[in-house]
Structure 1
Amino acid sequence: MISMDTIFNIQTQAEFESASLEVFKFQFENNRVYRSFCDLLYIHPSDVKRIEDIPFLPIQFFKSHDVLSSTQPVEQVFTSSGTTGDATSKHQVTDLHIYKESFRRAFSHFYGPMEDYVVLALLPSYLEREGSSLIYMVEDMIKRSGQVESGFYLHNLSDLNDILIDLDKQGRKVLLIGVSFALLDLVESYQFQLKNTVIMETGGMKGRRKELVREELHDLLKKGFGVKNIHSEYGMTELLSQAYSNGHGIFKCPNWMQIRTRDTEDPLSILPNHRTGGINVIDLANINSCSFIATQDLGKTFADKSFEIIGRFDHSDIRGCNLMVL
């Protein structure tokens, strides 16, 4: 079995492809749900010679099945927020060390040492429920920052306003990470001109506000915070890795994660760059679950391996899910 050290130290496309094929073979042999899905597609490891041949498991299976490639005890179950009445996704994680290593390395790669930042988190909808993988990550970031001012904010926007202004005046590096509706609530109550603060939105109105297109959301936040760019984090319950954008909605992945787009009418067909399609994620850190996931997001990829999220599927189920009712 491929080591996590090998995965986290991928440097070239050839190394990524080799690792992906090895992980696919391992998960085919050890993940009952993924094996059943591949069997129904009549796809066997002997047929898979390149990444384009690997099937991507529709993300909905995390709502109805235990998607595991490991027999080790489950250390943590991360759950999605979901809407009232909907089934929620469950990601059973057997090795939290891998998750920590993944998000620590990725953040450091794009933003430098966590210890350089005061981390302020405005994530009320996540704090108000159990099982959020985002809260787990941000708690670790706050702890590792080692700054006494780092912490979570729920509804105390006045305190957050004061500390943001004070830290920025001091020239301290600040990361304000927040869910979209809460960041909008903040700039509707207070106005800023921040020079040393990274504003990072994690997406989602969570039913609290009307959904906005990214350009409109970012324009409001840029004006409200007085910054040139709004950063974004792209992650989900079912993954163990995140991509980051430092502006304009263009995301970059750490070296052990890549995006492909699929034809929305033919989910086994991978599209070329610049074509809008369903987002397929390869997350090699997700070795004990499934590393090849077909999401409900729509987007496009670019030649430098960056990608853009454009929206979500209108229909609730991805084509291919009806192959398996286990």
Structure 2
Amino acid sequence: MQESIFNIKTPEDFKQVALEVFKHQFKNNKVYRSFCDLLYIHPSDVSKVEEIPFLPIQFFKSRKVISSLEKIKETFTSSGTTGSLTSKHFVTDINLYKESYLKGFSHFYGNIEDYTVLALLPNYLERKGSSLVFMVDDLIKKSKKPESGFYLDNLLELAKKLEELNKKGEKTLLIGVSFALLDLVEMQQFNLKNTIIMETGGMKGRRKEIIREELHLILQKGFGVDEIHSEYGMTELLSQGYSDGKGVFKTPPWMKILTRDTEDALTILKNGKTGGINVIDLANYNSCSFIATQDLGKIHKNGTFEIIGRFDNSDIRGCNLMVL
């Protein structure tokens, strides 16, 4: 079954695999099964992807969302503020995650060995529970380039490295949290020719929040690049969407975005309307592949999507089933 997840080629393939994954998780995931039972939805009633129930993402904070009896190999945790509940994603097959992000990166950017990967992120030892840091740590190793590495605490060395790689014409990926990228361009301006700048979000508590367009304009000017790329991922997912500019994201073939009505959480909207973001991530085979997130967004006719903001808790309606 897991092989077929990464061999999806057509919408019909996606539908067939998604319905099989739904049956598997309905049968093997106690939390998800309880949620489906409360909605009186059984796999025998479901013939379309849009009819599959989406589990509210908050369950990853309060329940063990797992569809496997295998031993847990990794536990990814969200970075919460002190005292707040963090999400936990229990991963029984770490190779599924590796296959997902390596194939996803290759799908959009080509062979990782073509890039020097520079990370403006806390390194693996500092932030062990981060799925993003785990992925970037592995991409750094897989790049097989001696200059690849984490540079969060050394902006001067990073600036020097960027200039050297630029001069040599090396293909470079600089991936980092927004506040650290801003710190770097405030310290030094660049004119980079072969570098992809990819921001992963992350301003909370570090700087005043600014809108994406403003952030990207500052970074474009500071790095001397035409576009700023972005990564859309979260603790609860094992796949990522990528944007090569203007905050418009694409997903790999085993991931799909739908939007739900903000007043009625069970109603799926047509493309083009703003709503709550629902994610199907078939790589989440051993947890839950059907998740109602707290992001607000819009899907374009060609299937690309953008994130417009987040619900605050008072805005989440139709989720009173969450108090299982």
**Shorter-chain TM-score category?**
over 0.9
Can you list the C-alpha shifts for 1:23-60, whole angstroms capped at 9, x where unaligned? 11110111000000011111111111101111100000
Cα 1:276/1:126, change in 2 over 3 Å: farther
CA distance in 2, matches of 1:184, 1:305: 30
Residue 256 of structure 2: aligned partner? 258
CA distance in 2, matches of 1:171, 1:125: 26
Once the two structures are TM-superposed, the CA of residue 321 in structure 1 deviates from its matched residue by 4.3
Q: 1:154 aligns with which of 142, 152, 155?
A: 152
CA distance in 2, matches of 1:236, 1:49: 28
Can you list the C-alpha shifts for 1:195-217, whole angstroms capped at 9, x where unaligned? 00000000121310111111011
Once the two structures are TM-superposed, the CA of residue 109 in structure 1 deviates from its matched residue by 0.8
**Retained in 2: the 8 A contact 1:60–1:317?**
no
**Retained in 2: the 8 A contact 1:176–1:199?**
yes
**Retained in 2: the 8 A contact 1:229–1:248?**
yes
CA distance in 1, matches of 2:142, 2:57: 31
Once the two structures are TM-superposed, the CA of residue 83 in structure 1 deviates from its matched residue by 1.8
Q: Secondary structure at the match of 1:264?
A: coil
Paired amino acid for 2:81: T
Paired amino acid for 1:141: L
Cα 1:218/1:127, change in 2 over 3 Å: farther
Residue 31 of structure 2: aligned partner? 33
Cα 1:43/1:247, change in 2 over 3 Å: same
**Retained in 2: the 8 A contact 1:233–1:245?**
yes
Once the two structures are TM-superposed, the CA of residue 127 in structure 1 deviates from its matched residue by 6.4
Asked if residue 105 in structure 1 is aligned to residue 67 in structure 2, the reply is no
Q: 1:313 aligns with which of 301, 308, 311?
A: 311
Residue 214 of structure 2: aligned partner? 216
**Retained in 2: the 8 A contact 1:58–1:318?**
no
Query: Unpaired runs of 5+ in structure 1?
Result: none
Paired amino acid for 1:227: V
Can you list the C-alpha shifts for 1:276-321, whole angstroms capped at 9, x where unaligned? 0000000001000000000010100112211111111122674354
Q: Secondary structure at the match of 1:124?
A: coil
Residue 76 of structure 1: aligned partner? 74
CA distance in 2, matches of 1:179, 1:320: 33
**Retained in 1: the 8 A contact 2:127–2:133?**
no
Q: RMSD value over aligned CA atoms?
A: 1.3
**Retained in 1: the 8 A contact 2:152–2:180?**
no
Paired amino acid for 1:255: P
Can you list the C-alpha shifts for 1:142-169, whole angstroms capped at 9, x where unaligned? 0000000000012210000000011011
Asked if residue 129 in structure 1 is aligned to residue 120 in structure 2, the reply is no
Paired amino acid for 1:50: K
Give the alignment of 1:1-326 within 5 angstroms.
3-124=1-122, 128-315=126-313, 318-326=316-324
CA distance in 2, matches of 1:320, 1:64: 19
Q: Secondary structure at the match of 2:180?
A: helix
Q: Secondary structure at the match of 1:119?
A: strand
**Retained in 1: the 8 A contact 2:56–2:322?**
no
**Retained in 2: the 8 A contact 1:243–1:253?**
yes
**Retained in 1: the 8 A contact 2:66–2:287?**
yes
Q: Secondary structure at the match of 2:182?
A: helix
Q: Secondary structure at the match of 2:283?
A: helix
Which one is further off, 120-129 or 298-307? 120-129
Can you list the C-alpha shifts for 1:240-268, whole angstroms capped at 9, x where unaligned? 00000000111000000000000011011
Paired amino acid for 1:260: L
CA distance in 1, matches of 2:199, 2:53: 31
CA distance in 2, matches of 1:77, 1:178: 22
CA distance in 2, matches of 1:271, 1:65: 28
Once the two structures are TM-superposed, the CA of residue 4 in structure 1 deviates from its matched residue by 1.5
Paired amino acid for 1:262: R
Which one is further off, 38-47 or 109-118? 38-47
Count of residue correspondences: 324
Once the two structures are TM-superposed, the CA of residue 219 in structure 1 deviates from its matched residue by 0.4
Once the two structures are TM-superposed, the CA of residue 126 in structure 1 deviates from its matched residue by 7.9
**Retained in 2: the 8 A contact 1:60–1:321?**
no
Cα 1:315/1:325, change in 2 over 3 Å: closer
Q: Secondary structure at the match of 1:270?
A: coil
CA distance in 2, matches of 1:318, 1:14: 32
CA distance in 2, matches of 1:13, 1:48: 17
Identity, % of aligned positions:
70
Q: Secondary structure at the match of 1:286?
A: coil
Cα 1:310/1:68, change in 2 over 3 Å: same
